[in-house]
Structure 1
Amino acid sequence: MSFPEEFLHYLWKFCLLKKQEFKTTSGDILDIISVGLHNNHAGPDFESAKIRIGDTLWAGNVEIHIRSSDWYRHQHQFDQAYDNVILHVVSEHDQEIIRNDGTEIPVFEIKNLIPAEIAQNYISLMADLSWIPCEKHLAGIEPFFIKSWLSRILIERLEERSIQVNELLKEYKGSWDDAFYITLARNFGFKTNAVPFEMLARSLPQQLLGRYKNRAFQIEALIFGQAGFLNKNFKEEYPGLIMQEYRFLRKKHGLNPIDKYLWKYMRLRPRNFPTLRLAQFAALILKSSHLFSRILNEKDSRRIMRMFSEMPLNSYWETHYRFGQECQQTSSALGDKSIDNILINTVAVFSFAFGLMHGSDEQMNKGLNILEKLSPESNAVINRFIKIGCIPENAAHTQAILQLKKSYCDQKKCLSCGIGTKILNHKNASTVSNVF
């Protein structure tokens, strides 16, 4: 059977070929001292490898293909990056490969060196049509191993999200406060109203809101007005007053509101209605100007978490979810799950990103500590992982699980996943070294 290159990479990287005397296709004894560093970018597959062929010690790069002829099919003969390849590892040797200087590249054929058990495990895993390939095996993996892998995956997720933060920073000319403000607004809308919340924030710079610091009436008028909710006359006093104030502020600052129809209510509980979310957002803006700067200077992650609680809203929202529609008295405060969502998707991400870009372990650890102190998230993906034996202890674990599902399970990248390789080679996974 022909295996894909990524499987051959896995065998080489983790030294999983049958233990015996190795020889090149020319009959020379081959001693693998170091397999090299796996290269996931352009160029040879493994760099800085060390091998001995006969009596000669070589240091250089290793290229891996299914067939030797793939060298020419991939046009490596035209790429100088491949001139330093010291060994061509192939499943099947079907053609001699000559370097540009006229010398032949040694070939190591491995099709008869693949352990049958590992090959069968791989075939079974790739053919599994379950929700995720390892669904039937996950419960048999030690929890400590899974948690260790999730810790690595969490860093990967935060690094990916840091790239998104950097793109926003470029747009706002390096202003962390502005980038944080836009992201915070987007996450206040959660999935349903993320887009209109971001549009609102972009139409209403925090520098303008800062001019009305400690003036709740103006802040509320600006936010509801720019959101498109103050474009009619009201019978109730509170919305009528902020409508009049917004008309003045709109003319003064040359503002253009977004369209009201962008806001969605369908299938939302009243406590998640955009009008109540906007009131909560106004309360946070009123309470915390230059919020990200405060977060950076605060060392206690629990105090950071408390910044998003105890935000007093106008009493109007104690009996309303929407303008002009009175309801029974209820709590208008931001709920614990909503606060957790903002801490997970905004505060922790920005703390980590800032630390990553400025070389600050303190800020990176602050982001990680916040996730570790929060309760596990609950959604369809997390609940399915729990059902098959992966039990998260905190939000750090659930964030890692979401990354695992998106970047590994959905793409069947089992050979790049610690859990996948553990299942493929359960006998040797705990003792793998970098030497044959």
Structure 2
Amino acid sequence: MEEAHSEEWAWQTIRYLSDCERHKKMATFIPSAAVYLPPPTFRPLPLAQWFETFHSNDILSHLDEMKGVITSTYGRILKMDSTKKITKKLAGGIGDSAAWMSNIGNEFGRVLNSVLTSGEGAGLEELCQGVVTLYKNAGQAEPEAIYVDRDCCSQSGVSSVAKLFHPWQSAVRLDSFHFMRRFNCGLTTEHNPLYGIFCAKPSSCIFAWDQEDVQRLKEAKRAEWKSSHSGHTPTEEQLMATISPGELKRHCRRRTRGVEEIRGMISGLLESVWDLTDTTGLRLVSHDSMRHVWEVQQKHLECLQDPAGVALYTKVGTLQKGGKELDILRCGRGSSSLESFHRHQCAFIPGWRCNAVHTQMYMLEGVSRWNMGRAKEAVDVEGASTLRSFDVRLMSHLSNLSQRVLGSTLVPEFTPPGKPTSERIAVEYLLGRDQQR
């Protein structure tokens, strides 16, 4: 900022002195000599505390708009996950009591709420029931599915998550990433050269690619190959080598295999690596640990199944490849979008440590900006602008004024948020529960 401020002063001074020089040349025929005042002296920037105070005051003046952006978010598929990353930055009283940050998001990566809690899965009744009330008051249909990282099923028949979202009848499913990650506990060490190879295998045991989508992609890649190789037809091996994992994920859908098929494939995978060792003789698999992991995880195979009748893929665009038109698909399965949010969430709080007041402000600003940044993905709008602004008042005023004057809005993808509800967000949730106790 100091560099930009200094350069701006220099450019403004150059403009002023250039005008003076031009005037001086034109004034040679005037008897009286012109007097040119020196430019304003360079003023250094205030201290960092001044900027922090200014930023805080700006956030405090937009609290209702920021809360409105968060509490006006809904979804057809919800994801719930928790992280400890951001709690390492908390200072003061909340630094000792806050252990987890729990988030609820939708299929587009937008966040419905983000709260601090004293434990993972503990004290989330108010959070979940607040979301239920939010849907009810807005007249929204209950979500079709809820993906979680734990508590997906119960021996009594009703899972803990289903109880939290009572009376919803949404299907509760386990995120496949967390299921696969649990097998790491049965490995001896992550430094084994075979560690990464093993971790990549369970995914193919759980999911199968849609063959119609794969065939369309292969036809497009085949046509692309022919155009760049003088019409020669590639072999099947050459064709598959040109298809990257990213292209498969972008243009092809996946479905979960049946319970027994998954059980058989994972059992076969474990048998194939049971006695593998590295060059020093160190086993990849710890037999006792892996037996226990697989015994426990088999009961979750039913929780991995795709909910019946739920469209997990959304078409977000098309792409021309080899003269063929391919759909660009976005998958709503699992909680990977929340994992991405967790990584960015730490950046909402600048510096290393932050007290309760500033944590609350930074979280409200960060989540609202995150949701607005993903608003274009939530709706399919033709002629969407490339404008990038997170000021709700400014965008609302621009949208309303252009509608009145031009008869159309200049920012069609912008949807004004509703009024904020009484839901507690971030630090409010933790402190509110402490007061209740």
Q: Same fold (TM over 0.5)?
A: no
TM-score by length of 1: 0.25
* More relative contact order, 1 or 2 (CA 8 Å, 6+ apart): 2
